[in-house]
Amino acid sequence: MTDPLVIFTPSGKRGRFPVGTPVLTAARQLGVDLDSVCGGRGICSKCQITPSYGEFPKHGVTVADTALSDWNSVEQRYQDKRGLKSGRRLGCQATIQGDVVIDVPPESQVHKQVIRKAATARAITMDPATRLYFIEVAQPDMHTPTGDFERLKRALRDQWQIEDLRADLTILSKLQPTLRKGNWQVTVALHHDHHKGPARITEIWPGLHENGLYGLAIDLGSTTIAAHLCDLQTGEVIASSGLMNPQIRFGEDLMSRVSYAMMNPGGDREMTAAVRSALNDLATSLAQEAQIDPALLVEATFVCNPVMHHLLLGIDPVELGQAPFALATSDSLSLPASQLDLTALNPRAQIYVLPCIAGHVGADAAAVALSEEPNKSKDLALIVDVGTNAEILLGNETRVLACSSPTGPAFEGAQISSGQRAAPGAIERIEIDPITKDPRFRIIGVDMWSDDPAFAAAAAATGITGICGSGIIEAVAELRMAGLLDPSGLIGSAEQTGTPRCIPQGRTHAYVIWDGTAEGGPLITVTQGDIRAIQLAKSALYAGARLLMDEMGVDKVDRVVLAGAFGAHISAKHALVLGMIPDVPLDRVQSAGNAAGTGARIALCNIAARAEIEQTVHQITKIETAIEPRFQEHFVAANAIPHATDPFPELSQIVTLPQVSFNTKGQEPGRRRRR
């Protein structure tokens, strides 16, 4: 008689096994992804499966009611104590008695897939660096004396095939009481090295640990620090939070922080202490929000730009402020959280910092590459992560280029006369009627346009307070589309434009979006200075992209991906009118959300992604904008709106830009091009 046939779904893996083989054993031999923390002892319940009975013509089997063994005492005890979902069995206890079809539900898979939230979602496969192992450790024997740790190592080798193991003194000092408290059964959390180095014990608990494991994916930006607290077993994001980077008090942007370090002995250490303290606060508040013990935070991954990277690590960033912009280290870093004074986490939590690409292209850009995978793209993708600096990636599966471009903070609403951060009351969208030249707009926190009769009442709570980053981009683009702004970037006078909203301001003009002065509110305008700031920013962005296109030998790209929290809110049409990005069909402009943060999450949830991005960054060609003469040429040409020389054929199919010129003084606006 042949052995029974076992078919696993959804994998479709099948094989024949002797009567009496536990389902978990069959799954392991076939390489079916079926979880188990307790190693088949019937106590962790991670290996739950659902047998199917009846006729399966597709598989060519008939499954009898007796295909699996009856419930045994272990399974019954589990059922009585904790309960199993209807139809479920414990894979380690149920044994094969006849042909059977067995479904492995998603929650029983180790490598379950987590769907990312963003619209362009791709799944993250769970394969975290830190995992739980339940073991039974042999008791000490005076006749063959070995240490408790040596017997624990042997248990992990025999029961889980883990060969190379390390534990620090804090684990060794709690090992003996924990083993005895657990009656020689313990659960260990092991951190696996993605370069085949030894595994490390992060934590040890008596008996079966059932309170999970968690990690933080941290996007450490110059302005904000954003973190997700993720369940390392399910991949679920349990809590997300962000706070201001306290280093702002030492300098708004990167170079001012580098300057602070150069001018003030010990300044780098002040900034390092500030950011580490903020990270501890963030970890503590996230753990509170998630209602978990902070000691269960056993990992964190970091993405950040090079200056943040060095200041996080306690390295003076002074070399990053001057050519040749040498990083102290560019490779990824795996280190204990204690080296970063991250005391809010488990004392043995492990940190992974993604690799940097170059002195100006940091681990944040690497994270974008990990998330957006230009190196796997069939078409040519231009990925821009817009922030105070823009990280730009251009590539496809044959080659990827990267650079960073100093856009400055204008895109974030800073250095704009009425600019403000994206907060309730800020104008985030705007339209200007090309006939009446009057605007309508929306503010953050109110779900209607300003020409809605109910708007005034709805806006009363916050007031109309300023313009945020996406709002200023739309405003400038709308001014251009409405014929109030000429290609050189000059705002016309009331006479030239026929609207009293164009008011004189010194020797230039400003456009009034909202006059709240009668009610004690602000006068919200777009000034000539604002236009210049946006022109500088968008020219830098466009010039960076063009430089990569030159290197790639192309003059158009197949698609543009806007990443960064800000990128999610940019209108593609307005970005094209402004000439921020190269001309592409409107539907080929995609938003990737916080791609850097997603990259941090991927690295947190999937250990193989670490080796992958380390390899990818070595294959990326870096272009240093600061020393490339063509960057200046591209920058100057990109000053015009949308561009002085590059045609925008795709844009012109959807928008006709008025041919106006407001230059009456024979002055070239180009004289302001200096950066």
Binding site for a second copy (CB under 8 A): 139-150, 168-169, 172-173, 175-177, 197-198, 313-316, 318-319, 323-331, 335, 339-340, 356-359, 622, 624, 626-627
Q: Are 419 and 254 in contact (CB under 8 A)?
A: no
Calpha distance 91→623 (Å, rounded): 54
Q: How far is the CB of 347 from a second copy (least distance, A)?
A: 12
Nearer to a second copy, 3 or 150 (CB): 150
Nearer to a second copy, 316 or 412 (CB): 316
DSSP state of 121: -
- DSSP letter for each residue of 16-63: E--TT-BHHHHHHHHT-----SSSSSSSS-TTEEEEE-EEETTTTEEE
Structure tokens at 81: 């104590």
Q: How far is the CB of 365 from a second copy (least distance, A)?
A: 12
Q: How far is the CB of 645 from a second copy (least distance, A)?
A: 27
Nearer to a second copy, 145 or 666 (CB): 145
Q: Are 614 and 331 in contact (CB under 8 A)?
A: yes
Nearer to a second copy, 160 or 325 (CB): 325
Q: How many residues does the chain have?
A: 675
DSSP state of 193: P
Structure tokens at 48: 């739950």
Residue 330 CB coordination number (10 Å): 19
Residue 412 CB coordination number (10 Å): 25
Calpha distance 662→486 (Å, rounded): 6
Give the closest residue to 593 by CA, choosing from 231, 240, 292, 332: 240
Nearer to a second copy, 359 or 408 (CB): 359
Nearer to a second copy, 190 or 502 (CB): 190
Structure tokens at 503: 């008011």
Calpha distance 571→585 (Å, rounded): 13
Q: How far is the CB of 381 from a second copy (least distance, A)?
A: 22
Nearer to a second copy, 360 or 634 (CB): 360
Structure tokens at 666: 């024979």
Outline where DSSP puts E strands in 53-198: 54-56, 61-63, 89-90, 100-103, 113-115, 123-125, 130-136, 165-166, 185-191
Q: How far is the CB of 169 from a second copy (least distance, A)?
A: 5
Q: How far is the CB of 660 from a second copy (least distance, A)?
A: 42
Q: How far is the CB of 302 from a second copy (least distance, A)?
A: 13
Q: How far is the CB of 344 from a second copy (least distance, A)?
A: 18
Nearer to a second copy, 394 or 427 (CB): 394
Q: How far is the CB of 190 from a second copy (least distance, A)?
A: 17
> Residue 479 forms beta bridges with which residues?
none
Give SS3 for 615. helix
Nearer to a second copy, 283 or 313 (CB): 313
Phi, psi of 314, rounded to the nearest 5 degrees: 85, 30
Nearer to a second copy, 145 or 649 (CB): 145
Cβ neighbours for 175, distance < 8 A, ≥ 6 positions apart? 148, 149, 152, 167, 204
Q: How far is the CB of 173 from a second copy (least distance, A)?
A: 5
